[in-house]
């Protein structure tokens, strides 16, 4: 393991010293294994934001000193993010959004679909890279292998079958459920050979692997890339859509208001060029600065070290999980080759509801994971081997509000700062849960929410207040 890197990173995590209350009494340092949902931030990023706040004001047209500094910082942040993605400044633009979901919806609104256009996507996608396309075109789904990885033969076959109709290929860089890393440049080559463009949902892959959009004349060029700051150690409310400026500039803005125009009269509008025309209103300048600092920090750490650490930690976790009676890992249960998966592991304990296991981990071991369907329902259904009848039954339960009856699994996901002690905390507790060595819990029959029997709910107000310090 790259011990020195991990130790340095761990010491710099904002909130690494937070302790969580235990059901048995006392507290324990909180173990965050829910990084696929949102990552914490690092103190150098917090410090950079605090430094910038002194100069913060609106950007674009102010003539004051602070406005000039803030505008420069905002545009420099955009440039840093473009470099992080390998975007071509001559042909690509970088648009600031709120998150990956908004980025995908923006692209769906702007893309020049025809009435018979097809979007080829996959069964492993997050809803953010599925639902927006359904509104604008016919979505076709490439299948998965039994281990949850993308069936490349099926992907290629569907491209051939729909050649001339597929306008866009939409695929995740890495699965937020099974952790599989997709061969995005190989998929880009296939998409371009079929006359389609490609968009990569990089929300999961951006904090774990380097991204290179490549030059537009390269057959493996990525036409569009979207990702979020809150999964890339910059949880300040920012997302990014990067891609072909000419295509994005061809349609009217997807969101209108201040900042998207050069002139408005009572009977005419002169739209601004990109990226301004897609950044209506006051942009998230602080978020942009934070994300620029985060991607610069990742580059400074070094991708080789980051990948090696994650590969080693994931292999260790899979080995330990494989020794626990009743634990089943979904997707790939071994770490065979370097770099073919990120540190995301979906699993279950046989006979134990996922929400119960999640509650026990939180209340008795101060370990935070995620349980459920992870906004990638078809992928989880496929991993669970659910047939059409089971899927239809799940839809009926959801329609009736019976959330507790929905299928689901657990997910542990690693950040750059996690180490073997975090894996041990998770697996030690899972071993106890597998033996039935835990307190009794009441589980809501409608929601599935589980709470220790006879114990009051946690009161967050005991730990955090929104009231600011009043000036003395």
CB 208 within 8 A of CB 174: yes
Start-to-end CA distance of the chain, whole Å, equals 50
Helices (H), 367-419: 377-384, 388-399
Burial of 190 (C-beta count, 10 Å sphere; 0-12/13-18/19+): buried
Backbone angles phi, psi at 97, to 5 degrees: -125, -165
Q: How many helices, marked H, and strands, marked E, lie in the chain?
A: 14, 19
- Number of other residues whose CB lies within 10 A of the CB of residue 140: 17
CA distances to 144, 246, 381, 393, 395 from 388, in Å: 16, 42, 10, 9, 11
Q: Give the distance from CA 54 to its chain's centroid.
A: 30
CA distances to 168, 174, 229, 248, 467 from 214, in Å: 18, 19, 22, 18, 48
Contacts with 129 (C-beta within 8 Å, 6 or more apart), sequence order: 100, 104, 121, 170, 171, 172, 199, 201
Told to judge if 427 belongs to the known catalytic residues of this protein, a careful annotator would answer: no
Euclidean distance between CA atoms 30 and 17, whole angstroms: 8
Euclidean distance between CA atoms 150 and 181, whole angstroms: 9
Closest CA to 87 of 243, 191, 209, 194: 243
Euclidean distance between CA atoms 60 and 70, whole angstroms: 9
Angle, alpha carbons 413-415-419 (nearest 5°): 95
Peptide bond into 205 cis (omega under 30): no
Backbone angles phi, psi at 201, to 5 degrees: -80, 100
Backbone angles phi, psi at 307, to 5 degrees: -65, -45
Catalytic annotation, pick one of 363, 371, 375, 450: 375
Check residue 33 and report its DSSP letter: -
Q: Which residues pair with 372 in a beta bridge?
A: 409
Euclidean distance between CA atoms 196 and 178, whole angstroms: 27
- Number of other residues whose CB lies within 10 A of the CB of residue 383: 23
Euclidean distance between CA atoms 57 and 54, whole angstroms: 9
Euclidean distance between CA atoms 415 and 418, whole angstroms: 6
Active site residues: 375
């Amino acid at each position: 393991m790259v011990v020195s890197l991990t130790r340095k990173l761990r010491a710099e995590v904002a909130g690494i010293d937070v302790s969580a209350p235990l059901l048995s009494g006392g507290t324990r340092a909180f173990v965050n294994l829910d990084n696929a949902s949102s990552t914490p931030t690092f103190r150098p990023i917090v410090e950079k934001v605090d430094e910038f706040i002194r100069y913060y004001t609106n950007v674009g047209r102010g003539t004051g000193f602070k406005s000039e500094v803030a505008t420069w910082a905002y545009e420099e942040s955009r440039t840093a993010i473009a470099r992080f993605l390998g975007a071509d400044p001559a042909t690509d633009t970088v648009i600031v959004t709120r998150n990956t979901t908004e980025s995908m919806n923006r692209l769906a609104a702007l893309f020049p679909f025809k009435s018979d256009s097809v979007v080829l996507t996959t069964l492993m996608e997050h809803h953010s890279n599925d639902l927006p396309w359904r509104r604008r075109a016919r979505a076709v789904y490439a299948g998965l292998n039994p281990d949850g990885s993308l069936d490349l033969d099926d992907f290629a076959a569907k491209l051939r079958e729909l050649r001339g109709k597929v306008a866009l290929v939409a695929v995740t860089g890495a699965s937020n459920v099974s952790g599989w890393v997709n061969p995005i440049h190989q998929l880009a080559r296939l998409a371009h050979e079929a006359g389609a463009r490609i968009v990569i949902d990089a929300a999961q892959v951006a904090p774990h692997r380097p991204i290179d959009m490549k030059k537009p004349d390269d057959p493996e060029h990525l036409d569009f890339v979207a990702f979020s700051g809150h999964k890339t150690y910059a949880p300040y409310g920012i997302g990014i859509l990067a891609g072909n400026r000419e295509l994005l500039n061809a349609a009217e803005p997807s969101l209108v208001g201040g900042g998207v125009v050069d002139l408005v009269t009572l009977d005419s509008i002169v739209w601004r060029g990109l990226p301004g025309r897609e950044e209506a209103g006051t942009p998230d300048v602080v978020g942009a600065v934070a994300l620029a600092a985060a991607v610069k920090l990742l580059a400074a750490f070094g991708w080789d070290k980051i990948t090696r650490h994650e590969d080693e930690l994931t292999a260790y976790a899979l080995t330990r999980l494989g020794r626990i009676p009743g634990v089943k890992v979904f997707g790939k249960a071994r770490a065979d080759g370097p770099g073919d998966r990120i540190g995301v592991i979906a699993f279950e304990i046989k006979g134990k509801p996922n929400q119960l296991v999640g509650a026990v981990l939180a209340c008795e071991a101060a370990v935070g994971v995620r349980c459920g369907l992870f906004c990638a329902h078809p992928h989880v259904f496929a991993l669970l081997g659910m047939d059409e009848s089971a899927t239809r039954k799940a839809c009926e339960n959801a329609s009736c509000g019976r959330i507790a009856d929905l299928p689901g699994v657990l997910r542990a996901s690693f950040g750059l700062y996690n180490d073997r002690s975090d894996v041990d905390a998770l697996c030690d507790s899972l071993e106890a849960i597998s033996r039935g060595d835990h307190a009794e819990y009441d589980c809501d029959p409608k929601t599935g929410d589980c709470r220790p029997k006879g114990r009051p709910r946690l009161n967050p107000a005991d730990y955090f207040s929104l009231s600011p310090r009043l000036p003395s």
